[in-house]
Structure 1
Amino acid sequence: MTGQANSAPVSEDDLAAFLVDNPEADTLQDAPNNGDEPGPDPDNSDADENPGGDAEDDSPDEDDAGDGASDPAKGQPSGQKFKVSVKGEDGADTELEVDEKELVASYMRHSDYTRKTMELGERERQAHSLVEQRLTQGLEQYAQQAMKARTAIVKLAALKSEAELAQLAATDRDAYILEDARHRAVNAALAEIDAEMNSVVQQHQAAQQEASAREVSAAWGKLGQHGINKEKLVSIFGDVHKLYGVEQERFAVVRDPRLVLIMKDAVAYRQLQDKAKTMKGKVREAPQLPAARQSTPRNEQVNKQLNKRFQSGKASTRDLASFLLTNKL
């Protein structure tokens, strides 16, 4: 049997002669397989035991397999993985691993959220500024009206000067007494107007200072929960000015701590982006991995297995059919 296996048929006539001279070869296909003996049917290309059947299915894709072997990066994710640290609801830091695509998408969402929140903060600032402007305008109008009333009283009263009163006291004592009483009454009315004007101005200033103090206290309390003190706040404002070009004067009117937290996150995200660019540059500069070895063609694998079976004398007609199909004889 070994000698027959070594002289494998290469034509249909040889195959027919081989089968006629060896009728016992057909009986071997029903025997159980021993170890590595393949036992698939040549016509069943999906059976795992039939190396020839696999070769038949894989033969149209041999070119594709070769392409895949020559391009080891094909099918691999293109984005690099980056480890980032984020704060959870409990304030603890959690390390996450994100790819480049997710990093870009997160930046776009964060950028859009930051922009809209800053626009909202700008509208709130404008509304607050408008209210203060209206109050100031009202106060100015009240002061103007009070000054007009005071000027009108002085004009209508036609008060005499101190020199005129002294001369009147020397010439007409009774007229002086009446004029002095009228003079005192008018001055009392004017003093009352002046006092009311000063009171309104002081109340307005006190209300502004109290409201500002409450806002500052509440803002620092909120920022303190996130570990932001005056030095860190100045650093955040400086980074926002450097990265986004926001004028330093704009920070003087920031009263909402949420805006500060958004600025802090925006700065941290931009720093993370810069770090990602640096890491990608290092990855590009790093030595490349050796190319993957090209896999052995399927036909060679099948032929190698069949040759072992032919040489061992355990080959069956199925192995013979697989050999013919694999080599297209």
Structure 2
Amino acid sequence: MSSQITAYVALVCTSGVLNLYLCLYAFVKRYYYTNISNLFIFYTVSITIYCFGSAFGLMATTLEQIKFWTIIEYIGMPFAPPLGLLFVMRYVGMKIKKKWCIALLVLPFVTFVMVATNDFHHLFYRKLEVDPILGVPYIHQEIGIWYMIHGVFIFSCMFVAFLLVLSNWKETAKVYRPQLISLMCGQLVPMLTAFLYLIGMTPPGIDPVPMVLWLSSLLYLWSIRSSRMFTIMPIAKDAIFNSINDGVIVLDESYRVIEYNHSCKKMFPQLTKSMFGMDFDDVWCVLSGDSFPFELDTTEFSREIELTANQSTFIRFVLQYCSMLITVKVY
């Protein structure tokens, strides 16, 4: 085995080991987490199978062995993107219906069957052979119609998952953003690598995607350790935050609006998400039609004012950490 192949195998095995560790970690801690950990377990299992199948394929010495380990790879690889999408959907608070799961997992199953039976129909690979110049384990392949269908599907899954995470960035407090970074990279890294592979900008005859998955795995591990991913999630925080009967507006250290709950929206229908990032003075002017009656500062624990409208509104300002929570009570 050449030193170059040895390096490839080492990178792929690193990705496989890290994903196996993440899988076992989530499995052991599953009773302490929410149901989202189950999706993460299946997601990392599929990536682990993909990585180790690829590693053994790189150590193959015949075309038959390469085909066998390619089939093993596809036990996991086509399922990873849709499972990743389901994981992200659950993470951002979307309710996942069974028919969605079935719809997303049917095509990967068909892909696996197509790869396993490719010698009979050649719909996935029109040609799969040892590269005549580089030799084993490098392969020369010509893709078939189902390979293109499969490619569009997995790219769509990863891209939609990336967009779902990105769309929640502005509304997510800074303490939770490391989780979003890891989730975005978990989708973006393999997507970009696969794209570079398809346009011929990676080493020929070798699938480079498993070689870079260790990066997203490390980011997942960092997020779990640093921001307690799964145990404290934005969706769990949102459920508590929006269940508060009192209206709450959250300001950052510069007194810009970064969040409000459902109760506050009911009290002030003018509030919109487009106001995120605006100075509270400007937002208050929109809400009340007047400038704010006093300066916001951190020297006092609470302040009170009263609005004269259809009903009186008692507003108390409470400082917590580096953010300001504005609690609104209607009497």
| TMscore range, shorter length | under 0.3
TM-score, length of structure 1 as denominator length: 0.24
Q: Which has the higher helix share?
A: 1
TM-score, length of structure 2 as denominator length: 0.24
